[in-house]
Amino acid sequence: MEISIQKQVIYLIAFLLLCFTVSAVGALASIQAQSFYGSLVQPDWAPPAWLFGPVWTVLYAMMALSAWLVWRHGGFRKQHSAGWLFLIQLALNALWSWLFFAWQLGLWSFVNIVVLWVFILFTVITFWRLNKLAGFLLAPYLMWVSFAAALNFAMWQLNPSVLA
């Protein structure tokens, strides 16, 4: 069944809105993130605070495009496990910002990011099987979250009095 161009555009916009809404939910928890991040003892390999915004902007756009490509393979009614994996990892992604920045819970933010990583991996595999480009578009996200998990762990260990 052919999907009209108009419907494809509407769904692409919807996926972009979904991903950037999740980004906004995380950003609400991160209002003071730059100063908080700067106040923490950091490993030598920690990136500057200004880098996170641009990286996440690109990653959220790639996530939206990836989900849209999978949706085009019969929609998430047909690909319901792919849809659920995508939604769960988005929710875990938004939760991490609250755990780390707003609530300053080092252990729980690390547990969350490990679970997030697993869900991203399953999402990549599922998307790859349905559309190679969709899976490929999520690979940088998986790599960034791998790095973020290592950074989360290091920051938690270096700041035990702040990140309980």
Task: State the pTM of this model.
Answer: 0.94
Of the pLDDT bands very low, low, confident and very high (cuts 50, 70, 90), residue 114 is very high
pLDDT value of residue 77: 75
**CATH number given to 5-158:** 1.20.1260.100
Give one DSSP letter per residue of the chain, joined into a string: -PPPHHHHHHHHHHHHHHHHHHHHHHHHHTTTHHHHHHHS---TTPPPGGGHHHHHHHHHHHHHHHHHHHHTTTHHHHTHHHHHHHHHHHHHHHHHHIIIIIS--HHHHHHHHHHHHHHHHHHHHHHHHH-HHHHHHHHHHHHHHHHHHHHHHHHHHH-TTT--
Cβ-in-10-Å burial (0-12, 13-18, 19+) of 156 comes to buried
pLDDT digits (tens, 9 = 90+) for 118-159: 999 999 999 999 999 999 999 999 999 999 999 999 999 999
Other C-beta atoms closer than 10 Å to the C-beta of 90 total: 24
pLDDT digits (tens, 9 = 90+) for 70-110: 999 876 777 789 999 999 999 999 999 999 999 999 999 99
How do the domains of the chain map onto residue ranges? 5-158
pLDDT value of residue 141: 98
